[in-house]
Structure 1
Amino acid sequence: MQFVFTPINYNYRISFKQLLLSISSILLLAFSAGAQTTNGTIKGTVKTSDGNPAEFVNVVLTDTKLGATAGQTGHFTIKNVPTGNYTIVASYIGLQTQTKQVTVTAGETATINFVLTEGAKDLQEVYVKSAKHNKFLKKETEDVARLPLKNLENPQVYSVVTSELMKEQIVTSYVDGFKNIPGTGVPLVYNNGRTTLLSRGFVTGNFIRNSVAGYNFNAIDPADIEKIEAIKGPTGTLFNSSLASFGGLFNRVTKQPNEWAKSEITYQTGSFDLNRLTADVNLPLNKDKTVLFRVNAALHNEHSFQDAGFNRSIFVAPSITFHVNDRLTVDIDAEIGNGNATSAYRLAPDVSAKATIHNVKDLGIDYKRSFANNGVDYLSRQIDIYSLINYKISENWKSQTMFNKTFSTTTGMVTAFTLVDSTKQIKRQVTQQDYPYYITNVQQNFIGDFKIGHFRNRIVTGIEYYNQKSNWNNVSVTMPSISYIDPGAAYNGFTADKISALVNAAAPKAGDYVQNNQSSYAAYLSDVFNITDRLNAMASIRIDRFVNKGAYTPADGKTTGNFSQTAWSPKFGLVYQLAKDQISLFGNYMNGFNNVSATSFDNTPFKPQYANQWEAGVKVDAWDHKISSTISYYDISVTNTTMDDPAHPGFSTQAGTQLSKGIEAELIANPVSGLNIVAGFAYNDSKITSAAPGTNLQGLRPANSGPARLANLWISYRITQGVVQGLGFGAGGNYGSDSYQTNTTKFKFTIPSYTTVDATVFYDQPKYRIGFKLDNLTNEKYWSFRLAPQNPTRGTLSMSIKF
């Protein structure tokens, strides 16, 4: 199927007065609809067996479309119920479903109360107490350790951003959700929409989806994201090192089908001609609810705040779950996306001996100039197929088989700009490219939970195969330089026709078309051993065989860079719970590695890079899950670091070591009903501790390590009872200290510190939701590592219908 995108010009502006009138009209219609006479009403409460309110529980009348969701106090109301006798069902993942009978009489209110007990299911289904009070707290996951391990039992640090938090913040871009993760910084957007962020001072990609390879070379749409998991530190034991950094990894977990029919349609509009329509449709396909279906979809159109630039995409993510029997469950889902966009802004400073400017603010370059053209664009395509087979072998063992197949490609023109500040000129390079990637990932895990004597063991052992193929077809040309202070009429000469003429005139080179093929074969074992009910130890090990078949150029039949490497990765951890299920002390040693494919002058094969982390800290989950916090200190040392070989330009040398150490702190709190707080702080001290002579890097912070200090805060309050129940407000922001784009003993180029402030107001009801968000209230000017200007003040209106 071929999708063709044509430019759409939205020439409209929404005034603040018109926006208020629109919101008022919608609210009046909603209140009018709610005031109409009904046949009957059902009210009640839902509590758990410990007497606490059970928020988010679904209460439905069988064989009808009527139902409600319990609020934060556990109360629910179902209006407009025709008279008669009904079966009413209360259900939530991890709680025992309860069924009762109710009779509805015209003009009267029937009261039904539920008390639900927890069921004996997997960890992420059983441990739901946090959702009853703190809706942004969903730390319990099997993804991090691949085991049924609670956060307080896990010696590793990780953060989770929930779909509820992203909805409250009206997230329309996947990377906006990372504002809530300590230490991630300003997103780095590449020429084709692919994004990376920081983790403990290391650039970290978004290559993992549902715990296996989800390599997306293009932009990621957030429509089907259930949560984002940021797993910190070298993770070479249980995850493919090709998809993680020494600082950790980001795992995007997608929405899966569930047992109740529920749908939501959302339209969002706002600054920069944003028009976004999303749909989330979930329904069982049979009465026994053994076949479940869900589809998430998005249509997105948005222009840049600059004078050129756009992003248009269509995205569909269907998923289906088969409960074959009590032992066997099969999940199959897909992500299918097509996009059309202009290349991300990318600017390199002048680092020559004549350079005089050392701070992006001193350039004098217009913040809103793109130096590009909407006709210089590219097309992207993404198809990601995923399957998971869970089979219960016995009461103590289960088999987990995962398979992922990904196709991702970018076709068109991407840009890169370089400054010559001595002449106030900007050079614009364009690459005509066709980059298809083909990924295959297969994992087979066996997970056990059993006792040896009085000691509990939780074990995962498995094997993994990963293959990545890519075909790079590209030709790069450079357009005539222009003044970046006063470009004049030459500014309009950056057109696709002129670029194509230069591409066609370029002399063919063997490297214009390159084929790459690499594979890895791994086996791993991890065991969590409970010495007492408060003290447990973790020991893990992984072996990887990496085979890179090199870069093959069909034009001359040559292959370069082919090599094979074998690497071991151990991991150890200890956890002691000072207060059972409330406070734990933890420590870990973790190891990770990266296979090195750079070329040395004498063609000597490089060794794998290794990272060794020591970490200690405290985790808190107290006051009935209303307070959750993690504070830790880490020390990561990296050996076999590669860097440019100053004695042989164009080659690399493996003579470096790097140290990255720091403190991370996170708080997720719900101190009183309706009030939620998400806060984080990260301090990172990174330096090159050993560098090859002539590289001018010894003792300096790597430029791509980002700001040394990063902080995030979000505070929101939702009224939980009364006539305006569901009305809420939120505010927060992000801070980053100054950082470097270039940092050597000969030249430094600084990116200044920044502080952004965001705010939102929303009205959330069982059948609809209206929200308005302002990002960057103070209109702060700030930049990414690639010197890309970030959005100024931006408003977004979101309207949802739930049924």
Structure 2
Amino acid sequence: MNVKNNFFKAFTCLLMILLLGNDVKAQTTTGSIKGTVKTADGKAAEFVNVVLTNTQFGATAGQTGHFTIKNVPTGTYTIVASFMGLQTQTKEVTVAAGETTTVNFVLSEGAKDLQEVYVKSAKHNKFLKKETEDVARLPLKNLENPQVYSVVTSELMKEQVVTSYVDGFKNIPGTGVPLVYNNGRTTLLSRGFVTGNFIRNSVAGYNFNSIDPADIEKIEAIKGPTGTLYNSSLASFGGLFNRVTKQPNETPRTEIAYQTGSFDLNRLTADVNMPLNKDKTVLFRVNAALHNEHSFQDAGFNRSFFVAPSITYIVNDRLTVDVDAEIGNSNATSAYRLAPDAKGKIFNIKDLGIDYKRSFANNSVDYQSRQIDLYSLINYKISDHWKSQTMFNKTYSSTKGYVTQLSLADTLIKQQAISQDYPYYITNVQQNFIGDFKIGHFRNRIVAGLEYYNQRSNWTNYTVTLPGISYKNPGAAYNNFNVDKISSLVAALAPNANSYVQNNQSSYAAYVSDVFNITERLNAMASLRIDRFINKGAYTPANGKTTGNFSQTALSPKFGLVYQLVKDQISLFGNYMNGFNNATPTATAFDNSTFKPQYANQWEVGVKVDAWDHKISSTVSYYNINVTNTIMDDLAHPGFITQAGTQLSKGIEAEVIANPFSGFNIVAGFAYNDSKITNGAASVQGLRPANSGPARLANIWMSYRIMHGSVQGLGFGVGGNYGSDSYQTNTQTFKFTIPSYTTVDATVFYDQPKYRVGFKLDNLTNEKYWSFRLAPQNPTRGTLSVSIKF
């Protein structure tokens, strides 16, 4: 710990020495001009040129629409905002010595109109949308933020003809093959830790079922322990995934799309946006999807309906209220799940010889799921330097029916069905106060907040297992796994008090985070959160017993430094981040002691680049995450558990988003993760946890769109993903390997202002590959997408 502290102090001192070596600027007879350029619907207008006529002074608006022109001699000037294809705007501006004059422009075009101009003029990196206030809960640019994150835009997902939410994660370094649970819920990897999809618009969006991508504006993958600003119950030690939904704007627009393709895919989506009054102070948008698709295997399907209405009410220039909902219904069969035989002699899924296209399931063994997410956001401008942000989320998510799983025993496969009624009820409330002000010459951006989170569930569960059948030659017994057979077995089960269980847990949190600009190039971040976690335990009404109830309090600090080596182009950063998980073990300690929260401490250093007029953006970092208080089996006292384990996860992540020349765009990433149990049970000591996934993961997507001529709008794309071999089980006595994989995807599209046609081929080489749960992934799949825009 002393070594880390000394390193942190040395790093800080080195930066201060660099800064103190710079002389304080003498008084001059110059001033500065700053301002913003926005579209008619209030969105940032990037790449707009802002110049002073008859001078060499000018700037280009950044991704947030801001611009700054420095060292301008005093006097009165004509300032011009212009962009190819847009109407030029001019204003008069007076510059005073030592002062900064503010000038703002509002373009007559809407954000989507401007987007079309961008595409036609090829002046932007269309997959680069790094600027977000979600990561730090503050208006902080990527180059100012000491945290690493990736953003997948709706434009990229549209080009890749994404019809499944998790397919968008192909573009995020280190996420791997999606892990699909029995009811459609999905998780992916982040820095070697299994990470769920439980956050929507920065608050709880706990979806126990599959997520439809119809209303997704972007996916934000925030890396590393995030316990300071986000609820630890919704994140992992590797980070979190925040899905940001589409919001209403002032430009009326409708897009209807239809996708069809392999495995009987039929998908119809609609995106309708309109103002509801002449003043455009009440805005409405609705996204909807109707989805029907079968599995490539002999059984399996998903039929769903989804609708997401949203309203924005601009009460006045200080108060804005957003209200939206996600409502979904689906009928589906369980995802494939297979457990290998730990006593067997086969150690690789490829050597198993099990039929890739055989599901060992039946379409009558299905379930129904429902999802309702209600969300509201109230923004109130208290003053020029402070605003209030109130967020509320209410979630109902349920699964009712049969979910399944498979297990091997020698040459036999056992089919298991679980009769399940599992509703979740989530309430999440946040109140934030966000400030941007100066103390002396030093700028402070600060967020201080309170959060309340409650999660309740009622769990009804009955499990039956059918006799084993040969997994190579199952014969007529293969068809015994049907709803009639399973229902009769469930009805014959003896009563069990633990078949119906109620759970209730809450957390109360307070947090504060400050970004302090020491100079224009150097800023420091300091954050702290305190959480009070209350678990009321598992209550079984049949016997009136409650087990596992406990309370815990945890502190989570965060520090970061950023030095812009080249202003607004290259940043060096370092961070220390802490996250925690409340320990909720199913067994007890031998001495009945209370379990402490499990902590993860991350140290990270790296570089961020945003250069060449935003044509290239890149982040490269090295991280080291040490997890303490890990729960494991107590070898000295069988049947009990102890809290003395530690895990180390370290590695390198790199991401590049580039637009090297007109019409050509690249998204690429690489992740290397070295995870191991540094203190644990003898069976896993020193080994990589199986659920850490492949040690090496890579992704790339390249596309080219013709920008001029008679076939303007015609484009092509190609990319792929790679994962090194990994384990389903990794112990000293048994290892079961999942082989490496390489997949290749390609697309062709023709995009016009009024319509779009695209065709995508996934897994061109028909690669056979598996998830951590040994679920076979899709073979070659073709998808045709046709949309009209008006």
Normalised-by-shorter TM-score class: 0.7 to 0.9
TM-score by length of structure 1 reads 0.85
Q: Which residues in structure 2 correspond to 1:647-726 (within 5 Å)?
A: 651-692=640-681, 694=682, 696-726=683-713
Q: Which residues in structure 2 correspond to 1:545-584 (within 5 Å)?
A: 545-584=532-571
- Does residue 1:600 correspond to 2:588, yes or no? yes
In structure 2, runs of 5+ residues without a counterpart are 1-32, 50-61, 67-83, 91-102
**Number of the residue aligned with 2:465:** 478
**Deviation for aligned residue 1:629:** 0.1
**Number of the residue aligned with 1:224:** 215
CA contact (8 A) 1:704 1:785 kept: yes
- Matching residue's letter, 2:588: S
CA contact (8 A) 2:184 2:209 kept: yes
| Distance in structure 1 (CA, Å) of the matches to 2:734 and 2:266 | 43
- Does residue 1:771 correspond to 2:758, yes or no? yes
**Number of the residue aligned with 2:717:** 730
- Does residue 1:280 correspond to 2:267, yes or no? no
1:415 equivalent among 404, 422, 432: 404
- Does residue 1:643 correspond to 2:616, yes or no? no
| Distance in structure 2 (CA, Å) of the matches to 1:576 and 1:256 | 34
Provide, for residues 655-696 of structure 1, a one-character-per-residue CA deviation record: whole Å limited to 9, x for no partner: 21000000000000001110000000000000000013x4x0
1:208 equivalent among 172, 189, 199: 199
- 1:632–1:116 CA distance, 2 compared to 1 (3 A): farther
**Number of the residue aligned with 2:359:** 370
1:165 equivalent among 146, 156, 174: 156
**Number of the residue aligned with 1:247:** 238
- Matching residue's letter, 2:209: N
- 1:168–1:136 CA distance, 2 compared to 1 (3 A): same
| Distance in structure 1 (CA, Å) of the matches to 2:597 and 2:381 | 38
2:301 equivalent among 310, 315, 332: 310
**Number of the residue aligned with 1:199:** 190
**Deviation for aligned residue 1:649:** 5.8
**Deviation for aligned residue 1:644:** 3.5
| Distance in structure 2 (CA, Å) of the matches to 1:516 and 1:646 | 30
Q: Which residues in structure 2 correspond to 1:436-455 (within 5 Å)?
A: 436-455=423-442
**Deviation for aligned residue 1:654:** 1.5
**Deviation for aligned residue 1:115:** 3.3
Provide, for residues 363-403 of structure 1, a one-character-per-residue CA deviation record: whole Å limited to 9, x for no partner: 00000000000000000000000000000000000000000
**Deviation for aligned residue 1:563:** 0.3
**Deviation for aligned residue 1:420:** 1.1
CA contact (8 A) 2:63 2:131 kept: no
Q: Which residues in structure 2 correspond to 1:377-526 (within 5 Å)?
A: 377-421=366-410, 424-526=411-513
| Distance in structure 2 (CA, Å) of the matches to 1:564 and 1:130 | 54
| Distance in structure 2 (CA, Å) of the matches to 1:419 and 1:792 | 24
**Deviation for aligned residue 1:201:** 0.1
Provide, for residues 18-67 of structure 1, a one-character-per-residue CA deviation record: whole Å limited to 9, x for no partner: xxxxxxxxxxxxxxxxxxxxxxxxxxxxxxx99xxx9x9899xxxxxxxx
- 1:650–1:312 CA distance, 2 compared to 1 (3 A): farther
- 1:58–1:166 CA distance, 2 compared to 1 (3 A): farther
SS at match of 2:599: strand
**Deviation for aligned residue 1:648:** 5.6
- Matching residue's letter, 1:636: I
Provide, for residues 55-97 of structure 1, a one-character-per-residue CA deviation record: whole Å limited to 9, x for no partner: x9899xxxxxxxxxx99999xxxxxxxxxxxxxxxxx99669x
CA contact (8 A) 2:47 2:63 kept: no
- Does residue 1:233 correspond to 2:236, yes or no? no
SS at match of 1:334: strand
CA contact (8 A) 1:279 1:296 kept: yes
| Distance in structure 1 (CA, Å) of the matches to 2:697 and 2:288 | 34
| Distance in structure 2 (CA, Å) of the matches to 1:178 and 1:317 | 22
- 1:374–1:646 CA distance, 2 compared to 1 (3 A): farther
| Distance in structure 1 (CA, Å) of the matches to 2:413 and 2:776 | 16
| Distance in structure 1 (CA, Å) of the matches to 2:698 and 2:543 | 52
**Number of the residue aligned with 2:180:** 189
Percent identical: 81
| Distance in structure 2 (CA, Å) of the matches to 1:356 and 1:115 | 74
| Distance in structure 2 (CA, Å) of the matches to 1:790 and 1:652 | 36
**Number of the residue aligned with 2:87:** 114
**Number of the residue aligned with 1:532:** 519
**Number of the residue aligned with 1:331:** 322
- 1:267–1:58 CA distance, 2 compared to 1 (3 A): farther
| Distance in structure 2 (CA, Å) of the matches to 1:374 and 1:742 | 29
| Distance in structure 1 (CA, Å) of the matches to 2:409 and 2:443 | 65
CA contact (8 A) 1:71 1:720 kept: no
**Deviation for aligned residue 1:186:** 0.1
**Deviation for aligned residue 1:503:** 0.4
- RMSD over aligned Cα, in angstroms? 2.4
- 1:634–1:479 CA distance, 2 compared to 1 (3 A): same
| Distance in structure 2 (CA, Å) of the matches to 1:218 and 1:306 | 21
- Matching residue's letter, 1:325: N
**Number of the residue aligned with 1:18:** none
**Deviation for aligned residue 1:604:** 2.4
**Deviation for aligned residue 1:259:** 0.7
SS at match of 1:176: helix
**Deviation for aligned residue 1:652:** 3.0
**Deviation for aligned residue 1:647:** 5.5
CA contact (8 A) 1:72 1:673 kept: no
**Deviation for aligned residue 1:428:** 1.0
| Distance in structure 2 (CA, Å) of the matches to 1:133 and 1:283 | 27
**Deviation for aligned residue 1:442:** 0.1
- 1:530–1:113 CA distance, 2 compared to 1 (3 A): closer
Provide, for residues 564-590 of structure 1, a one-character-per-residue CA deviation record: whole Å limited to 9, x for no partner: 000000000000001110000000000
- 1:525–1:305 CA distance, 2 compared to 1 (3 A): same
**Number of the residue aligned with 2:24:** none
| Distance in structure 1 (CA, Å) of the matches to 2:647 and 2:104 | 48
| Distance in structure 1 (CA, Å) of the matches to 2:224 and 2:202 | 16
| Distance in structure 2 (CA, Å) of the matches to 1:428 and 1:116 | 70
- Does residue 1:781 correspond to 2:768, yes or no? yes
CA contact (8 A) 1:526 1:538 kept: yes
**Number of the residue aligned with 1:40:** none
**Number of the residue aligned with 1:796:** 783
**Number of the residue aligned with 2:131:** 140
**Deviation for aligned residue 1:643:** 2.2
**Number of the residue aligned with 2:749:** 762
**Deviation for aligned residue 1:600:** 1.8
**Number of the residue aligned with 2:76:** none
| Distance in structure 1 (CA, Å) of the matches to 2:40 and 2:667 | 26
CA contact (8 A) 1:530 1:537 kept: yes
| Distance in structure 1 (CA, Å) of the matches to 2:105 and 2:426 | 36
SS at match of 2:661: coil
- 1:650–1:525 CA distance, 2 compared to 1 (3 A): same
| Distance in structure 2 (CA, Å) of the matches to 1:654 and 1:617 | 33
1:632 equivalent among 621, 638, 643: 621
Provide, for residues 537-580 of structure 1, a one-character-per-residue CA deviation record: whole Å limited to 9, x for no partner: 00000000000000000000000000000000000000000111
- Matching residue's letter, 1:115: T
1:615 equivalent among 597, 604, 611: 604
In structure 1, runs of 5+ residues without a counterpart are 1-48, 60-69, 75-91, 97-110
- Matching residue's letter, 1:359: N
Q: What is the number of residues matched between the two proteins?
A: 701
SS at match of 1:707: coil
